[in-house]
Amino acid sequence: MTMTTAAPASDATIGLHKIVIIGGGAGGLELATQLGNKLGKKGKAEVTLVDRSRTHIWKPLLHEIAAGSMDTGRHELPYQAQGHWHGFRYRYGEMIGLDRANKRVHLAATYDEDGREITPDRWFPYDTLVIAVGSISNDFGTPGVKGHAIMLDTPEQAERFNRRLLNACVRAYAQPGPVRPGQLHVAIIGAGATGTELSAELHHAARGLVEFGLDKIDPEKDFKITLIEAAPRILPALPERLSVATANILKDIGVDIRVGSPVTGVSDKGVTLANGDFIPSELVVWAAGVKGPDVLSKLDGLEVSRANTLLVKPSLQTTKDDNIFVIGDAAYLVPEGETAPIPPRAQAAHQQSSHLVRQIQRRMHGETKLAPFKYRDFGSLVSLGKYSTVGNLMGFVSGKSLRIEGWFAKIMYRSLYKMHEVALHGPIKVALDTLSRLLTRRTEPQVKLH
């Protein structure tokens, strides 16, 4: 019989309003930081952040980690330290259930790599619960994906692909015979922002690896990248003119683009398309579509969408329980007058976390009618590494979009990450950290070699 324990409470927090945030992604960590500063530090509420990882990485950076063009250690943020600095508690664990009647969330026991228990199976009480667990890749049941493709949902997965890429290059260099067909081919399934950005980043990274002594490999002949998309064009969620501009840049650097090509199977030798074509590739990344984590359908009757995300009202409260809010990719909300839900983007999570900071405080003061969340689409930007950045900015001229490209677009793209960092650390620390990274980067290889 499994014993369960409740989370201990200190004398200082007994009687305080308990705010529990599940998930330390872009929205969850920003919310915990702001509520910690405004309420936790002042003893007005007990703010707790729960995450199954110990550190935070901004998810739009995962393609750079996978390509090896970014060192995880220089950008990851320990939740324990952030909580100490900003007045919230961090608890290590993964949500596996919910008891709405008793207002408590169930966390699974955690174990180290040797199988020893780190934290026990336990329950956390809450007065206000915020679910910000993000999304995961959706393989749509495609045969072979789980066994032969790597997804980019977490930094661990991105680092795993990078190790696989580096090992493949070293193996090809050290083997007595020539490079095999498909041995250094990368198939990227899904040409949304992640897949498209990864294709450009990998093209540059492969040439960086060869420069550091792997001169047996010819990056023009041996290294090949194929970007596969089931829709009629890449970046199907973005304006067509951006899709065309991006496709032209990728084709110019040699990326093979296959659109209108659903994948029917993945093996250790490559990828099979619906039209019967086989693409030889020993390195496969799956970046096609997202869905809510499986646990969301097991939360004590909360309603989920077809994509397994939680249905919420305009206030971001769940349709079944006003004590529970959802933000980020895990939330399903169709704005009034629209036909599609708010897209799973970092800017949506950022806006929702800022909205909830005010609304949770209003709720603590006894207000039951909360302001509806209104999403503002500021446009989309796609980074193609050193080659270019393209995008559109919304609302500059009478609600119309403005297409941008090149240096200015790259600055705007980087500013999105800086806005996230400022929300977590403030402008002074971000400026110092940025300067430190710029100085250090000049003394290190531009691609990860280990």
Share of the chain above pLDDT 70, in %: 90
Query: Which one of 264, 289, 314 terminates a domain?
Result: 289
Residue 446 scores a pLDDT above 70: no
Q: What number is the average pLDDT over the span 339-345? A: 91
Concatenated DSSP letters for 55-102?
EE--GGGHHHHHHTSS-GGGT-EEHHHHHHHHT-EEEE--EEEEETTT
Compute how many other C-beta atoms are within 10 angstroms of the C-beta atom of residue 267: 16
Same structural domain for residues 186 and 240? Answer: yes
Contact 411, 419 (CB under 8 A): no
Quote the Cα angle for 304-305-307, to 5°: 115
Strands (E) across 281-399 are located at: 283-286, 290-291, 310-311, 324-326, 331-332, 379-383, 389-397
Same structural domain for residues 90 and 185? Answer: no
**Packing angle, helices 240-252 and 193-211, rounded to 10:** 20
Decide which of 131 and 177 is more confident. Answer: 131
pLDDT tens by residue, 176-217: 888 888 889 999 999 998 999 999 999 888 887 777 667 788
Same structural domain for residues 175 and 77? Answer: no
Residue 117 scores a pLDDT above 90: yes
CA 60 to chain centre: 6
Query: Which one of 255, 289, 323 terminates a domain?
Result: 289
Same structural domain for residues 64 and 93? Answer: yes
Q: Is residue 140 part of a domain?
A: no
Question: Measured between alpha carbons, how far is 217 from 203 in angstroms, rounded to an integer?
Answer: 14
CA 59 to chain centre: 3
**Of 164, 162, 156, 153, nearest to 190 (Cα)?**
153
**Predicted local distance difference test score (pLDDT) of residue 1:** 36
Asked which of 33-42, 164-173, 259-268 is least confident by mean pLDDT, the reply is: 164-173
The total domain count for the chain is 3
Domain that holds residue 256: 145-289
Q: Is residue 446 part of a domain?
A: no
Contact 86, 40 (CB under 8 A): yes
Q: Which DSSP letter does residue 318 get?
A: B
**Predicted local distance difference test score (pLDDT) of residue 3:** 43
Same structural domain for residues 86 and 118? Answer: yes
Residue with tokens 């180290």: 112
pLDDT tens by residue, 256-277: 999 999 999 999 999 999 999 9
SS3 170: helix
Question: Measured between alpha carbons, how far is 174 from 184 in angstroms, rounded to an integer?
Answer: 13
58 Cβ contact list (under 8 Å, min separation 6): 26, 75, 346, 417, 420
> pLDDT band for position 445 (50/70/90)?
very low
Amino acid letter, residue 433: D
Residue 16 scores a pLDDT above 60: yes
Same structural domain for residues 149 and 107? Answer: no
> pLDDT band for position 399 (50/70/90)?
low
Residue 138 scores a pLDDT above 70: yes
Question: Measured between alpha carbons, how far is 95 from 156 in angstroms, rounded to an integer?
Answer: 19
> pLDDT band for position 386 (50/70/90)?
confident
Q: Is 235 left (phi over 0), alpha (psi -120 to 50) or beta?
A: left
Q: Is residue 374 part of a domain?
A: no
Same structural domain for residues 94 and 176? Answer: no
Q: What number is the average pLDDT over the span 116-140? A: 96
SS3 158: helix
Q: What is the CATH number of the domain that holds 178?
A: 3.50.50.100
**Predicted local distance difference test score (pLDDT) of residue 419:** 80
Residue 308 scores a pLDDT above 60: yes
pLDDT tens by residue, 291-304: 999 999 999 999 99
Same structural domain for residues 178 and 281? Answer: yes
> pLDDT band for position 135 (50/70/90)?
very high
Q: What is the CATH number of the domain that holds 75?
A: 3.50.50.60
Query: Which one of 254, 289, 324 terminates a domain?
Result: 289
